[in-house]
Amino acid sequence: MAGIFDLAIDNDGDLVIENNRLKTVDGKELIRQNLMKRLRTFFGEWFLNTAIGIPYFQAIFVKGIDLNEIEDIFIGEIGTTPGVVEITKFDLDYQGANRELSLDFEVKSDEGQLIRVSDFSLEV
């Protein structure tokens, strides 16, 4: 993904401003940011393409969740992110008592870099 960049966003989805300028990301950080955006997008949420997103209400925020199905959903979304060529590590942790789900994964980029995401979690 050489030569491609995007505006940087923080964990709350807000634009990052440094020294009165919008910050940009590229390379490894761009892929990591795209991964987080994709994992935070609910199926049907984006009005320009309602066919994208994670089916949170349809498969994850339901009673009696199927962890294999959820794992397949996340692996599919991660694996089809532009710049990702391989998932080298994937751990899904579900704590039923508090209904918390967290992901810890690592991917290999098309430029050969390893990108780790260990800060994605949600309450289901």
Domain spans, the chain: 5-123
- Residue 48, amino acid: L
- How far is Cα 122 from Cα 70, in angstroms, rounded to an integer? 13
Contacts with 26 (C-beta within 8 Å, 6 or more apart), sequence order: 1, 3, 4, 5, 6
- How far is Cα 40 from Cα 35, in angstroms, rounded to an integer? 9
Q: What is the pLDDT of residues 36-84, one digit of tens each?
A: 999 999 999 999 999 999 999 999 888 888 999 999 999 999 999 999 9
- How far is Cα 43 from Cα 53, in angstroms, rounded to an integer? 4
Report the topology of domain 5-123.
Nuclear Transport Factor 2; Chain: A, (3.10.450)
Residue 8 CA, chain-centre distance (Å), reads 15
Q: Is the pLDDT of residue 28 over 70?
A: yes
